Amino acid sequence: MGHMTWPGAIRSKCMNNHFWLDAIGWVGAAALLVAYAMVSSRKLEAHSAAFQLLNVGGSVLLATNTVFYGSYPSTFVNLIWAAIATFSIATRKRVSSR
């Protein structure tokens, strides 16, 4: 009586995946919105590492969510977003080490 049937176990696991991937997407969206709000309110500089790391993290988390749901145009945008932020961080480190 205490165990779940095979279809029920799969449905439960799938619902658990949905919960975690939705949470990942929401955290990613929040990171991007915080980054934008901080730059817009001049609390962060657009070239700062904190801003770029929020962009990388947020866009990668959103990309993870969009792959799960098959929203590939959004995945593409978020991966390009992450690449731009990563390039900015790498360029910044190269310039500062000279």
pLDDT tens digits for 50-97? 999 999 999 999 999 999 999 999 999 999 999 999 999 998 876 666
For the stretch 43-56, what's the b/e string if a residue is b when 16 or more beta carbons lie within 10 angstroms of its beta carbon?
ebeeebeebbebbb
Count of the separate structural domains present in the chain: 1
18 lies in a domain? no
Range of the domain at 71: 25-96
Vertex 27 angle, CA 25 and 29, to 5°: 70
According to the model, what pLDDT value does residue 18 have?
87
Which amino acid would we find at residue 92?
R
- CA-based nearest residue to 89, from 55, 44, 38: 55
83 lies in a domain? yes
pTM of the model: 0.79
4 lies in a domain? no
pLDDT digits (tens, 9 = 90+) for 14-55: 677 888 999 999 999 999 999 999 999 999 999 899 999 999
42 lies in a domain? yes
- CA-based nearest residue to 76, from 57, 87, 63, 90: 63
